[in-house]
Structure 1
Amino acid sequence: MPPRQREPSIDRTTEYEEFMKRLAAYHEKRGTTLEPEPRVGPRRLDLLRLYKRVVADGGYDLVSDTKKTRLGWRRIAEDFIGKSPHLPAQAFTTKSAYYKNLAAYEISDHWKRDPPPKEILEDVSAKGGDLLTRTLENFDCPVGRETENLVNGDVSDAGDVEKEKTPKEEKMDIDDPGSTGRVTRGLRQAPPQRVLFQPDGAPSRQTRHASNHVNSPTPAAANVHSVMNGTHGPSGASLNLANYEPRQQYPLTLKPVTTPGNAPEFFRQKRQMLKETASGNVSKKYKGMMLPGSGFPGPNIYVRALLSLRSGIPEEEEYALHHLVKISHERGDKYQFEQFPGLADALIVKVLHVSSLFYNVHWEISYEEDVVTDSGSTLNGLTGTRNILQKLRSGVPLATNDDIHTQAFSAELGRITEAGLVIRNMVMLEENAAYISKIASIRDFITITLNLPRQSTIVELQHYALEIAEQVTKYFSLGPHDPLYLSLLSQLEGTDRGAIITSLRAIGRIAMTLEEHNRLEAVPFATLRRVCEWMLVEDEELRSACLDFLYQYTSTADNVGTLMKSVDVEGLVDQLVRLLLYNAKEDERKFKGEVKEEPVPPIPQLTRGIMDTYMRYDEPERSSLWLKSCFEYDEHSEMTQISLWQAYQAAFAPYGPFDMQASNFIKNVSSTFTGASAQVAAGNKYVISGIKPRDTPVDRSLKPFARCLWHISKAPLMPTPPQLHGNTTDDIDRTECSELTRPGQEMFEHILDKHLHVPKRRIDEAKEEKFHLDPDSTRTYDCRWGGCQHFANTRGIASAHTACAHIKTHLPDSSGKASHRQKYNRSEPAASKSDETSIWLNTCTDERNDAAGLPLTSALVLRNLARYLSKTDAEHSQEDGGLVNRIFGPVKEQLYYVMAHNFALRDYIAALTRAIAAAGG
């Protein structure tokens, strides 16, 4: 057998092929050469995986920056190549492969920038970094020796004798002592002899005469002289010995040697081989077989499992299914049927054996068109077996007990269940489901499994079959007489919740990926009634499966007509409307088109009594009191500096001169309100940001003042004579007092003194004067607060106590919780403004913020009903004003409520209402 090939290091998926096409087109446009599969050591690099890994680590510049990422390319090379003693070299090779093939593409594709020209990128070495900032100006491109000679002007003519030898060549004849340089240009010369340093033995201080006439010999000259004579001074030898260091010793790498003492079995087999070779029998005995120890490791686990499954040996099947269950669960999207041809067929053949445990039948799959499969135990492997249910029922049932089974029965059923579990795990991947749907025998397996005798031993396998059907029915077109379709409908007659939910999902997904429409015909009336009854159960998963089924079922007018005959459609519609707000949560949403900007309220005007109190203070405390009384902090508001300064001048101008300057006043605003500041807005407009006028001014303790709403005539108000009191307040031209006082007792005393003119009397000399409220026959009292006409019919009242008790009912709440009574506050109506926020009852949404879940499916089912109810029998369309109006009329108000308050469903409910209107509802 040929030697085992190494597994490919490149995963040639569709994504990889598309990436390589884009990369090749990019290099062709750039004018560079692409190496599609660069080799690093024994492996070839997958450029797609390498590109994703480097980009995930921050890009080429960050991976190459050793200050931020230590040994970044070594880690990447170890992940792609594996551990190796040559890892540093392989890391640089990996870096060079990425630099030549992917660096420019990374800058264009990932960073969306223009890469440097190829002259300073692909044409130079990968030692440098900072590709994103590399330009022709800041990058010193290395040049060759010939280019450098041309730039420096070192090229000499061949006939010029004087320039035949460059100065550098003369200089490098003998290196200077202690020089560490080496010849980098010209012919290679003999290495110079190193001369040890020999200190000068002459006295350090010389006479002036000697220094003027005789030059002391340099150590280098002495050393050169001694070297030329072949002798060395004793001082140099001593220094050489003193500085001598022995060479570092490295540990030896020992390799064990196989000897007859430590491996007798190996030598025994070797002697036997030699004997057989000498006799000439070895070629016949081991012909076509690779001997043990010759390097053949055997097939991988996938091939081994497939071959074991095909063998039919129980022990091998258990080994194969054990590993396949684990692989299909752990590998996920990396384990596909296309990569292992024959695996899906072998698993289907295995699960089809389940029928032989309960019936005297052994299936055989035929892939020939001319073979008749209408009778016998032959299954059609090309298009599926149409009469599989008749074949199964015609088989002789075996005597099986649900409680007692033989060991062979349990073992075989366990292997079949594991095979079904492997198929179920693998079809969860979309590619595997599409692959296995093309194998017609999978439909026979699902049909056979769902129609086996109802025993607890096969419940697990039946659930696997239903989950497989849920994934593959979207690739099938099933008619009303298809065995698989009938088998799925029969599951709805049972009591197993899991089987019912999975069956409903499988039926609702039939032909989902096909162009042809799935009609879901011949559904029994009892099944339809049962589905509508399940809608009442408080089970979200069961309701979702029922709604999916009803959405597919009501997509045709014939099915809607059948639904009308079998179930109470009014009750169904009422339940669907209730589900439109299933698990709805209140949410506040703002609408930019409906929100109107509130006008800036006017600056409050303080009364003379309050201003007289403020005039007792000096600046800047006076301006601070006025600002706190008339303004408040608001981070979203602003005022122009000039308007604020003019308002301050207008407020204090009638009360005498003041020495506050505009600049000091603006600075005092920031000191008064923390967070307010003077700024320059757009258009060079000077503003104060962070303040706005108050609706109601406040006092020093930030308690709001109360405004007197007592109506007074423009003429001086006099006590009302009894003969004139018959006139109402509307007969006289009146205005409001608008005096600001503190609410409560101070406002009450203001009314008694200024408006009712109640006299005061001093009861005791030591006490203050108090209002005299005794009855007076010469006058009557009236209430004129906010246009009140409580005493209009009685022509006033003589009792001051009764009048005052009534007036107190109008006065503002002294606790500050209410500014005034709304009943008679006609002069200050509530300001009408559009709401900035609205309360929405939103249901669940998907990642695109679109409606999802039970509310969406309920709206779609209602829309189908509204579209096709008018196309049903004519006898229903005329009674009670029309069928659509009779069914949807009672729930129209609820539909409008959902459309007005559910942001995610409003478009779907709008389409539903249009369908109802188009149907005459």
Structure 2
Amino acid sequence: MSSHSVTPVITTDGETASPSLRTLPSTQLNITRDQTNGVTAKPVSGLQQTLGSLPIFNHLPVNSKIGVDDLTRMKMALLSGIDEEVKFALKRYLRYSVNASYVIKLNENLDLLPIIMPLITRCREYIPQLVGPISSQAFETLQKGSTTMLLLRNLAQDSENTAILATDNELKSFVLFVLQWANNFNSKDSAIYQSHASYFSELLIYTLDLMEAISSYIAPAKKDDLYFQNLCLIFRDTKDRYCVISILRSLSRLLVRSKSDQQSAADNLDDNLLNKIVHNLLVEEDEELIMASLDFLHQYTLPGSERIKTLLSHKERYDILVATLPILLTYRVPTPDYGSLSKTNIRLLQRVKPQPPAHAPELPMPLLKELFELNEPMRATSWLRCCFERSLNAEVTQILLWKTYEQTFSEQVKLTDRKLITAVDFIKNVSNALPGASALVVVDEATAKKKFVIRGIQPRRNALSIAEGNKDIDQSSPIQHETLDEVVNDNISSEAIQISLPDIAFPETLSDVSKASASFLSLVSNDTSEIVVQFIRDMKPLTLHQIADVPPLNKVLSEFIHSS
């Protein structure tokens, strides 16, 4: 069940504000008891300012005698019973409840609640009179009572204060009194006087806020629980969003700790009320309303399977839950943008094998000198291995191969007594230097002329050293190397480059609504009754699709996934 904190309400002049003006204070002030006595500390900045900078503190004249501390002054004002003093004290308490509520904690001011409760209980006499014009005295009494309820509502934001308020029978009796009169005013037989409707609505709001705060402390609600019954009656008729959410939270908390073997207030809920709660799931843009409704449904079905059957037995509720719960699993969770893929033009760019060089690579001078020092045919063999590589379908003309070799070493041969291998022996030596290469005579189809070529070799892009050239030949047998070349060549020519596709981002976290929806589904899936089994079967297709889009759902929906 989600937690809920109600925002303190007070206007700048100390009067009560309408529900639409509720705002959370932006700062929390640290104030000591001495500071409430008018003893101001040295000026500081930020949050550590003193009451001297607040509207609720009045600077005392210089050199004047300091009187009682502010809390005592406020308490004595309440006890005096003087109208202006009581109003002053209430306004001051309200400001403390907003800006420094810890100064007036109920467990540290044990006499505060007994002092202010009469201001509330006096309203009992005048609330029934709101069906018609009332005296100014009645109006003043009701206004003080409403302001006091606002004060208690603000103090109820602290759990320690709430625990004390929940044990005060006088306060709980008044809360029930207001709830009952809210239903009386909503009835056809007893309508509230039109000019007083807004005033009573404000009092009802503060009462509902207090009820929401103390409901967990008075749970579980019995079958004949008057708080639960009157909240349901108000919920049935109200169209106020704030009231609907607050009542749902109170009802949920009143069902906490319910047991399946004991009668509960939830057993009295009729189809109309359950339908209204389920209908709230259709309000897509109201997260608070959806969360309050899901929390109630979770608490309603928690104690046993009978309530699950009751919830699903109505076709309208069944259909809404089947349609909305899978959607709520991804409520405000960014799902993968598959649409970006459909908008992307997918193209495969063919990768073409680059053409081999037309000529043998130029030899570095050190390598050239090293090759020249070798005797024939070793020089020719090493030069071929350094400058050419085997390629199954490539070929080089015999005359070009020989002329290249001859031009590389002819100038140096003339200056020494070394000899150059003959052209015939050079051509014969090619197959020995590069196994798999063969001298062939081919006919040019275009010219019908014969052409003498060496097939199975092609120029390297960069010359290898003698050792590297020999190693390249020794690593495999001619047949194996040819087969490897064939495979490599085919792969290179068929390989393609794909353009970059948009990244698909999957969410890593869930929203509160998605967690609550998953929790409710897991709870329902534990039941094995026929209607629940059918409910799960109807939901699974869309639910599994949502799980595929939102991986974190796998963990929280494990029970649902493995259910029948």
Instruction: Trace 1:8-23 onto structure 2 (pairs within 5 A).
Output: none
Letter in 2 for 1:857: A
* Residue in structure 2 matched with residue 545 of structure 1 by the alignment: 292
Residues 622-660 of structure 1: per-residue CA shift (max 9 Å, x gap): xxxxxxxxxxxxxxxxxxxxxxxxxxx999666999xxx
What is the distance in 2 between the residues matched to 1:617 and 1:353? 112
Native 8 Å contact 1:839 1:901 kept in 2: no
Report whether the alignment pairs 1:583 with 2:329: no
Instruction: Trace 1:37-186 onto structure 2 (pairs within 5 A).
Output: none
Residue in structure 1 matching 2:217, options 475, 478, 484 = 475
Please give the root-mean-square deviation of Cα atoms over the aligned residues, in Å.
Answer: 4.5
What is the distance in 1 between the residues matched to 2:506 and 2:205? 41
What is the distance in 1 between the residues matched to 2:309 and 2:547? 28
Cα 1:651–1:616 shift into 2, 3 Å: closer
Native 8 Å contact 1:501 1:542 kept in 2: yes
How far residue 529 of structure 1 moved from its aligned partner, in angstroms, is 0.7
How far residue 491 of structure 1 moved from its aligned partner, in angstroms, is 2.1
* Residue in structure 2 matched with residue 866 of structure 1 by the alignment: 525
Letter in 1 for 2:324: Q
How far residue 499 of structure 1 moved from its aligned partner, in angstroms, is 0.6
How far residue 558 of structure 1 moved from its aligned partner, in angstroms, is 2.1
Letter in 2 for 1:524: D
SS in 2 for 1:338: coil
What is the distance in 1 between the residues matched to 2:307 and 2:258? 20
Instruction: Trace 1:304-453 onto structure 2 (pairs within 5 A).
Output: 304-359=73-128, 398=129, 400-401=131-132, 404-452=133-181, 453=184
What is the distance in 2 between the residues matched to 1:522 and 1:609? 92
Letter in 2 for 1:863: S
Report whether the alignment pairs 1:554 with 2:301: yes
Cα 1:75–1:888 shift into 2, 3 Å: closer
SS in 1 for 2:107: helix
If the length of structure 1 is used for normalisation, what is the TM-score?
A: 0.36
Letter in 1 for 2:551: F
What is the distance in 1 between the residues matched to 2:359 and 2:533? 70
Letter in 1 for 2:152: I
* Residue in structure 2 matched with residue 749 of structure 1 by the alignment: none
Residue in structure 1 matching 2:208, options 466, 488, 498 = 466
What is the distance in 2 between the residues matched to 1:500 and 1:586? 31
Letter in 2 for 1:309: L
Give the structure with the larger helix fraction: 2
Residues 541-571 of structure 1: per-residue CA shift (max 9 Å, x gap): 2112111111111113121122133453143
Instruction: Trace 1:636-651 onto structure 2 (pairs within 5 A).
Output: none
How far residue 414 of structure 1 moved from its aligned partner, in angstroms, is 1.5
* Residue in structure 1 matched with residue 276 of structure 2 by the alignment: 530
How far residue 305 of structure 1 moved from its aligned partner, in angstroms, is 2.1
Residues 581-628 of structure 1: per-residue CA shift (max 9 Å, x gap): 11221469xxxxxxxxxxxxxxx985433776xx57999xxxxxxxxx
What is the distance in 2 between the residues matched to 1:543 and 1:498? 13
SS in 1 for 2:290: helix
Native 8 Å contact 1:470 1:503 kept in 2: yes
Native 8 Å contact 2:149 2:207 kept in 1: yes
Letter in 2 for 1:472: I
* Residue in structure 2 matched with residue 889 of structure 1 by the alignment: 537
What is the distance in 2 between the residues matched to 1:583 and 1:908? 17
If the length of structure 2 is used for normalisation, what is the TM-score?
A: 0.57
Native 8 Å contact 2:119 2:141 kept in 1: no
* Residue in structure 1 matched with residue 254 of structure 2 by the alignment: 510
Letter in 2 for 1:561: K
What is the distance in 1 between the residues matched to 2:242 and 2:385? 81
* Residue in structure 1 matched with residue 494 of structure 2 by the alignment: 828
Instruction: Trace 1:600-619 onto structure 2 (pairs within 5 A).
Output: 607-609=355-357, 615=361
The answer for unaligned runs of 5 or more in structure 2 is 1-31, 50-63, 186-196, 338-351, 366-383, 390-400, 406-439, 447-455, 461-489
What is the distance in 2 between the residues matched to 1:836 and 1:860? 34
Cα 1:8–1:564 shift into 2, 3 Å: closer
Cα 1:447–1:399 shift into 2, 3 Å: closer
Native 8 Å contact 1:553 1:559 kept in 2: yes
Cα 1:351–1:529 shift into 2, 3 Å: same
Q: Percent identity?
A: 19
Letter in 2 for 1:905: L
How far residue 495 of structure 1 moved from its aligned partner, in angstroms, is 1.4
Native 8 Å contact 2:336 2:549 kept in 1: no
* Residue in structure 2 matched with residue 521 of structure 1 by the alignment: 267
Instruction: Trace 1:150-229 onto structure 2 (pairs within 5 A).
Output: none
Native 8 Å contact 1:473 1:511 kept in 2: no
How far residue 737 of structure 1 moved from its aligned partner, in angstroms, is 13
Report whether the alignment pairs 1:898 with 2:552: no
How far residue 510 of structure 1 moved from its aligned partner, in angstroms, is 2.6
Cα 1:316–1:900 shift into 2, 3 Å: same
Native 8 Å contact 2:156 2:162 kept in 1: yes
What is the distance in 2 between the residues matched to 1:900 and 1:460? 47
What is the distance in 2 between the residues matched to 1:532 and 1:408? 45
Report whether the alignment pairs 1:572 with 2:351: no
How far residue 313 of structure 1 moved from its aligned partner, in angstroms, is 3.3
How far residue 449 of structure 1 moved from its aligned partner, in angstroms, is 1.5
Residues 377-396 of structure 1: per-residue CA shift (max 9 Å, x gap): xxxxxxxxxxxxxxxxxxxx
How far residue 530 of structure 1 moved from its aligned partner, in angstroms, is 0.9
What is the distance in 2 between the residues matched to 1:312 and 1:715? 128
Native 8 Å contact 2:331 2:511 kept in 1: no
* Residue in structure 1 matched with residue 380 of structure 2 by the alignment: none
Native 8 Å contact 1:863 1:912 kept in 2: yes
What is the distance in 1 between the residues matched to 2:291 and 2:138? 38
How far residue 826 of structure 1 moved from its aligned partner, in angstroms, is 11
SS in 2 for 1:339: coil
How far residue 306 of structure 1 moved from its aligned partner, in angstroms, is 2.6
Residues 391-444 of structure 1: per-residue CA shift (max 9 Å, x gap): xxxxxxx3742xx54322322222111101100111111221122212223321
Larger RCO, structures 1/2 (Cα 8 Å, 6+ apart): 2
How far residue 839 of structure 1 moved from its aligned partner, in angstroms, is 3.5
The answer for unaligned runs of 5 or more in structure 1 is 1-6, 11-41, 43-73, 81-292, 360-397, 589-603, 620-648, 658-713, 721-735, 741-823, 846-850, 872-876, 878-882
Cα 1:345–1:829 shift into 2, 3 Å: farther
Cα 1:75–1:350 shift into 2, 3 Å: closer
